[in-house]
Structure 1
Amino acid sequence: MNRVVLITGGSSGIGKSIGEFLHHKGFVVYGTSRNPERITNSIFPLLALDVRDTTSIKTAITEIITITGRLDVVINNAGVGITGPLEEIPTEEIKNNFETNLFGPIQVMKAALPQMRAQKSGLIINITSIAGYMGLPYRSVYSASKGALELITEALRMEVKSFGITITNVAPGDFATNIAAGRYHAPVIQGSDYEVVYKRTLQAMNEHVDSGSNPNEMAEEVYQIIQNPNPKIHYKVGVFMQKFSIVLKRILPDKVYEKMLMNHYKI
């Protein structure tokens, strides 16, 4: 039986690449978008779903189960970026980021788990970020929301293991997607004490995304995880230095690591 896969945020970027890869491998793929009617080039069905709207989550998952009778894999991919000096990011934007990057995936998992328990099987893959392993300057909120999802996964994985359900994280580095265009940027405020450094950092972050890796690398990694009967808890996908930065954080004294980051960002 072909496995049924749900990918949130499946209309572009990493989610679209994963969906197309799995579709060609014979999986029954359903993606989601807040406005699926605007997407005309998807090779797999797109359902309306906003991860900030619990009703839309339940409706989409119910529709998939009604059509297919099961739900084998959920890939929590929908997310948004956010940048800025913490002091200058509007509180409402901070809350919106956590609603999308943390509480949204939690609600998707809550909606999917009853079906997976009934099947006595299921796999949930949470797309986090290498940025979630460290507090990065001018990306504090993004690092925090993705880091929180990493820890939620660790805990929930133990809670549902006895039901035959596996949960894992995949943390990408910089990939060439449209995430920078959809990211909330706190404006560079003329005369602000943060103006010069934040403006320089923001430009560097956008350049890193533009020159990032091919999102097909993420698709291949996700496929290998699905094929693995005993996935690891954490996966990292990116260039060597991005992954190595996590190792350095473990082994270097805190202030040495902080200095290394400050030198990198020219702070």
Structure 2
Amino acid sequence: MDKKVVLITGGSSGLGKAIGTYLTSKNFKVYGTARNPKNYQDFDAFELLPLDVKIPETITKAVADVISKEGRLDVLINNAGVGITGPIEETPHEEILNVFDINFHGPVHVMKAVLPQMREQGGGKIINITSIAGYMGLPFRGYYSASKGALGLITEALRMEVKDFDITITNLAPGDFATNIAAGRYHSPVTDGSPYQEVYQKSLNLMNEHVDAGGNPIQVAEKVYGIIQKKSPKVHYPVGEFMQRVSLSLKKILPDKLYEKLLLNHYKL
């Protein structure tokens, strides 16, 4: 049987690289993407194609290149994303637009680019890497939560629209994992004299501690592999520490204000 062909956005580092390396070891033909693959001359885990999710033309070309080389595209993993922190009131608007361009509009453009091929070949799978943070509004991560939450809702809607084409779309929501996301995250500056100065700095320190102490990205890769093997994947899959996963169940059953109090206690606010 021919190898299944996988395209992973944001495949040069972090979760994307871990997923691609793992799937390669499982005999998939993996293509990753990076804005500029020339910056990764020593990268040999799998082939990297140039793609910037903010530039639709690069998306169209990368997808066309994969189809030209392989004749099909079985799995899309929408992994490219960016973090953002800051008080809602003080975050520059251009940074809000940027995080939605990368975390929401970009993945939508990639899905629109691969759907015609998947429909023509009689099926395919799309896995959108969202976040546990996308299921709740987190203090000083509100724009990140909103961008990932929006992607999760689009996934739910599109999944129903394409069901007749044997295309399945799934949300995979990681918690905190030890990647380089904190280094690439946009931080609204902690401003002297800001009414949020003390509480934001404290929250920022706590967020970085959570990422630094996060789990091994191989857990996400294994979950992706498991989803690909399923004939009919579920809509949502969380992956992360026990309490992070439990937090999703608690949000469904607890009164809103009680759940809010748990978050406030967790973030020491």
2:6 corresponding residue in structure 1:
5
Q: How does 1:1-267 map onto structure 2 within 5 Å?
A: 1-39=2-40, 40-267=42-269
| 3-state SS of 1:124 partner | strand
* Letter paired with 2:10: G
| Superposed displacement of residue 264, structure 1 | 1.5
| Cα displacement (A) at 1:230 | 1.0
Give the superposition deviation at 1:260.
1.3
Q: Distance in 1 between matches of 2:238 and 2:38?
A: 33
1-structure distance, mates of 2:116, 2:167: 11
Q: Give how far 1:42 is off.
A: 3.0
Q: Following the alignment from structure 2 to structure 1, what is the Cα–Cα distance between the partners of residues 263 and 215?
A: 21
- The amino acid that maps onto 1:79 is G
- How many Å separate the matches in 2 of 1:239 and 1:8? 24
How far apart, CA to CA, are the structure 2 residues paired with 1:94 and 1:2? 39
Deviation at 1:166, TM superposition (A): 0.5
Contact 1:11 1:42 in 2 (8 A): no
| Structure 1 residue runs of 4 or more that deviate by more than 6 Å after TM superposition | none
Please give the TM-score of this superposition, normalised by the length of structure 2: 0.98
RMSD: 0.6
Q: Deviations over 1:228-260 (max 9, x none)?
A: 111111000000100111111111111111111
In the alignment, the residues of structure 1 paired with residue 268 and residue 112 of structure 2 have an alpha-carbon distance, to the nearest angstrom, of 42
Could you say what secondary structure the match of 1:212 adopts?
coil
SS, match of residue 241 in structure 1: helix
Q: Which amino acid aligns with 2:218?
A: N
3-state SS of paired residue (2:46): coil
CA positional deviation for 1:120: 1.1
* Runs of 5+ consecutive residues of structure 2 not aligned to the other structure: none
Q: Give the whole-Å Cα distance in 2 for the aligned partners of 1:42 and 1:142.
A: 31
Q: Distance in 1 between matches of 2:200 and 2:140?
A: 7
TM-score by length of 1: 0.99
Following TM superposition, by how much is the alpha carbon of 1:266 offset from its aligned partner in structure 2, in angstroms?
1.9
Q: How far apart, in 1, do the equivalents of 2:148 and 2:82 lie?
A: 10
Offset at residue 262 of structure 1 (A): 1.1
Gapped regions of structure 1 (runs ≥ 5) = none
Structure 1 position 263, deviation (Å): 1.6
Deviation per CA, 1:151-204: give whole Å up to 9, x if none.
100000000010110000100000000000000000000111000000000011
Number of matched pairs: 267
